[in-house]
Amino acid sequence: MFILLNGKYTAAGDPVLKPDNRAFRYGDGLFETMRFTNGQIRLWDLHTARLWKSLEWLGYSIPALFTPDALKQEITGLLAKNKQKGDARIRLTVFRGNGGLYDPGTGLQYLIESWPLERETGLNSNGLVTGIYPLARKSTDPLAGIKSASFLPYAMAALYAKENKLNDCFVLNTADTIADSTIANLFIRKGNRYSSPGPEQGAVDGVMRRYLIGRMREAGMEIYEEPVSAGQLSGADEVFLTNAVRGIRWVQRCGEAEYTPGQVTEIYRQFMQTIP
């Protein structure tokens, strides 16, 4: 297996970071996780729009040759190098090079990795068992929506989920409402009304979330980007999660509350099989 570091192939097991790498030391970086399926990178335009917006927010100096088209060529080249012709998971990490805290670093650097994935066969048959991580609280500042290398609340919530035999775990924000889960955005349904917390509530600005909200609104569905409390989560008729790699997954239980897959089955059929 190979990875691509700053445009050059290297073996996946070779060291790639220096001790003073700013992403390693300070979390000064961001990443995109993408799915390659049916010969294309799913939701590519949404991924690149989020990436470039985040780079601007974080004050990166973007090299002239670092463009969406060039990046796509490098990703497809890595997939070919790794002989991954079927579905694959791609992770792009961008960081500000090496330096101290007050050192601006050595400029934009990036790492591309890929792994084979099983082909999607439909909505998950077994619902997810979830809980709420009780310790960390995510900020709701303007940087909250960035898919940042500063991932500690999610890493701790994932450990909590594993220790408590949960499939996933929800992370709260500073207002004690739900931000998102360790790897996905949250949707709940109560009657015909859908709610999904977004960046204003501390959630990562998920590309699958953004895609799905757009499609649901086009179909005339009642969907709101708004806070979701733990009480609303417990009292929902239906709960499901979205992310770019796994698509939609329905939740069977959160704490004592239980749910069944109702409208999410039709949402999957109507919107997930026509993703660009």
Look up residue 193 and give its two tokens. 């009304």
Q: Which two tokens stand for residue 57?
A: 């927010």
> How far apart, in Å, do the first and last CA atoms of the chain sit?
28
Sign of CA dihedral 149, 32, 102, 201: negative
Residues linked to residue 239 through DSSP beta bridges, in sequence order: 188
- CATH superfamily, with its number, for domain 128-274: D-amino Acid Aminotransferase, subunit A, domain 2 (3.20.10.10)
Please name the residue that has the structure tokens 């992310």: 243
Q: Is the pLDDT of residue 259 over 90?
A: yes
**Beta bridge partners of residue 185, listed in sequence order:** 242
pLDDT of 106 strictly over 80: no
Provide the 8-state DSSP code for 98: B
Fold of 2-116: D-amino Acid Aminotransferase; Chain A, domain 1 (3.30.470)
Query: 260's torsion region: left (phi>0), alpha (psi -120 to 50) or beta?
Result: beta
pLDDT digits (tens, 9 = 90+) for 140-161: 999 999 999 999 999 999 999 9
Phi-psi region of 143 (alpha: psi -120 to 50; beta: other; left: phi over 0): alpha
Among 204, 124, 118, smallest CA distance to 167 is for 124
Band the pLDDT of 107: cuts 50, 70, 90: confident
Instruction: Please state the separation of Cα 65 from the chain's center in Å.
Output: 26
Q: How many CB atoms lie within 10 A of CB 147?
A: 19
Q: What is the pLDDT of residue 273?
A: 83
Report the amino acid identity of residue 138.
K
Helix, strand and coil content of the chain, in percent to the nearest 5, comes to: 30, 30, 40
Rounded CA separation 174/52 (Å): 27
pLDDT of residue 121: 87
What mean pLDDT, rounded, does the chain reach? 96
Locate the domains of the chain by residue range: 2-116, 128-274
Contacts of 57 (CB under 8 A, 6+ apart): 142, 143, 146
> What is d(CA 137, CA 172) in angstroms, rounded to the nearest whole number?
5
Give the count of beta carbons closer than 10 Å to the beta carbon of residue 221. Answer: 17
Q: Torsions phi, psi of 93, nearest 5?
A: -115, 130
Q: Residues 49-95: pLDDT tens digits?
A: 999 999 999 999 999 999 999 999 999 999 999 999 999 999 999 99
Q: In Å, how far from its chain's centre is CA 272?
A: 16
